[in-house]
Amino acid sequence: MAYPDTRLRRMRRDDFSRRLMRETVLTADDLIYPVFVHEPAGREAIASMPGVARVSVEELLRVAEAASELRIPALALFPVTAPEAKSRDAAAAWDDDGLAQRAVRAIKQRFPQLGVITDVALDPYTTHGQDGLVDDDGYVMNDATVEALVRQALSHARAGADVVAPSDMMDGRIGAIRDALESDAHVHTRILAYSAKYASAFYGPFRDAVGSASALGKADKKTYQMDPANAAEALREVELDLAEGADMVMVKPGLPYLDIVRQVKDAFGAPTFVYQVSGEYAMLKAAAQNGWLDERACTLEALTSIKRAGADAVLTYAALDAARWLKDAG
Ligand code: PBG
């Protein structure tokens, strides 16, 4: 009888040796918690994202406290703009007393050590739900939008944002924002570029959460977000954003795009973040609520897989749960 020369199962036999050879270890340090902030008092549940709510600035401070206690390094803020504050030119985006700006100031005042990341894009503020300014044909104008994004990013930086995160996919916006930050004495403000952001159908629940779904209607974002079929183009996007001064790059969504994450990390070695988006969260939640999947095991497996693919950190709506599970297990 012939026996195997190598028995890989030997190291898998016991927990101690499995732990010793584990290559990827997920910790709270890897997590960024996205939070939806709205004007009304209290919390408001989001139907397509069970367990996630829109919160007031006051409630946001409770969220920040919970995240800090769990040693989550940073929050990413997403304001929900009241319909009457939306406009064609998205002027509310750079209102120094706007919701995003007030939310940033509130957190930085109470929890100065907690990283605050703001979303730079116009979709919460436009009546048409696009991430930029549109011409008469509804086409998103690149250079006019970049000027608006610069004003928005500067306003966030002045409010105290540690990281501005352009999620709009305009050409040249990273360089323009970097120049403006440098000239305005915000040399320490980091830029997390949504570099490889795909025109994905997995953003549906997010658009419900911020109320841009109804504004957008049947329109899509394919003239600026990337075609899910493309990989080489993602590398070109990342290369440009790094050359223009991005400190971190992002691939978004997560699980369906892990090949892109690996290629980006291998090609550039830059801090590479992944957004496990609303639709990915909703799929796991729905299956778990039906008793079809084990929520904790599947969530931790998905997050570990994203890290294994090359991500340095993950934006995830499951950040608080994951950090608690990791703490309980530790
Ligand atoms: C918009 C923005 C989107 C997300 C983050 N910023 C949606 C979009 O591009 O339509 C999606 C996040 C998610 O689905 O969780 N600038």
Q: How confident is the model at residue 162 (pLDDT cuts 50, 70, 90)?
A: very high
pLDDT computed for residue 268 by the predictor: 98
Q: Out of 86, 197, 285, 307, which one is annotated catalytic?
A: 197
Q: What is the predicted pLDDT for the residue at 213?
A: 81
> Which domain range does residue 31 map to?
24-329
Residue 330's contacts (CB-CB under 8 Å, 6 or more residues apart) are none
Per-residue pLDDT tens for 235-245? 999 999 999 99
**Do 33 and 320 contact (CB within 8 A), yes or no?**
yes
- Tell me the per-residue pLDDT of 281-312, one tens digit each, with 9 for 90 and over: 999 999 999 999 999 999 999 999 999 999 99
Residue 6 lies in a domain: no
Average pLDDT over every residue of 150-171: 98
Centre of ligand 1 to C-alpha 9, Å, is: 43
- Say if 290 falls within a structural domain: yes
Compute φ and ψ for 40, nearest 5 degrees: -60, 160
CATH code at 250? 3.20.20.70
With cut-offs at 50, 70 and 90, classify the pLDDT of residue 269. very high
280 within ligand 1 shell (Cβ under 6 A): no
Span 86-99, average pLDDT: 96
Among the atoms of ligand 1, which is closest to the Cα of residue 34?
15
Written as one string, the DSSP assignment of 76-118 is EEEE---GGG-BSS-GGGG-TTSHHHHHHHHHHHH-TTSEEEE
Residue 69, annotated as binding a ligand: no
Q: What is the mean pLDDT of the chain?
A: 97
Concatenated DSSP letters of 187-213: TT-EEEEEEEEB--GGGHHHHHHHT-H
- Please report, as a single letter, which amino acid is at residue 289: Q
Domain count, the chain: 1
Estimate to the nearest angstrom the gap between the alpha carbon of 271 and the chain centroid: 14
What distance in Å separates the CA atoms of residue 245 and residue 192, rounded to the nearest whole number? 10
| pLDDT value of residue 157 | 98
Q: Is the peptide bond before 253 cis (omega within 30 degrees of 0)?
A: yes
Is 13 contained in some domain?
no
Answer for the pair 181, 157: CB distance below 8 angstroms, yes or no: yes
Q: What local confidence, expressed as pLDDT, does residue 47 receive? A: 94
What is the chain's alpha carbon radius of gyration, rounded to the nearest angstrom? 20
Tell whether 95 is covered by a domain: yes
Segment 2-15 mean pLDDT: 96
Residue 1 located in a structural domain = no
pTM for the model stands at 0.97
Q: What is the pLDDT of residues 38-60, one digit of tens each?
A: 999 999 999 999 999 999 999 99
Q: Does residue 10 belong to any structural domain of this protein?
A: no
Question: Residue 285 catalytic?
Answer: no
Q: Is the pLDDT of residue 225 over 90?
A: yes
pLDDT band at residue 1 using 50, 70 and 90 as cut-offs: confident
pLDDT score of 330 more than 80? no
* Residue 217 pLDDT greater than 90, yes or no: no
Query: Does 123 contact ligand 1 (Cβ within 6 A)?
Result: yes
Instruction: Encode pLDDT of 117-131 as tens digits.
Output: 999 999 999 999 999
197 catalytic? Reply is yes
pLDDT one-digit tens code per residue, 274-288 = 999 999 999 999 999
Q: ipTM of this predicted complex? A: 0.97
How far is the centre of ligand 1, averaged over its atoms, from the C-alpha of 213 (Å)?
Answer: 11
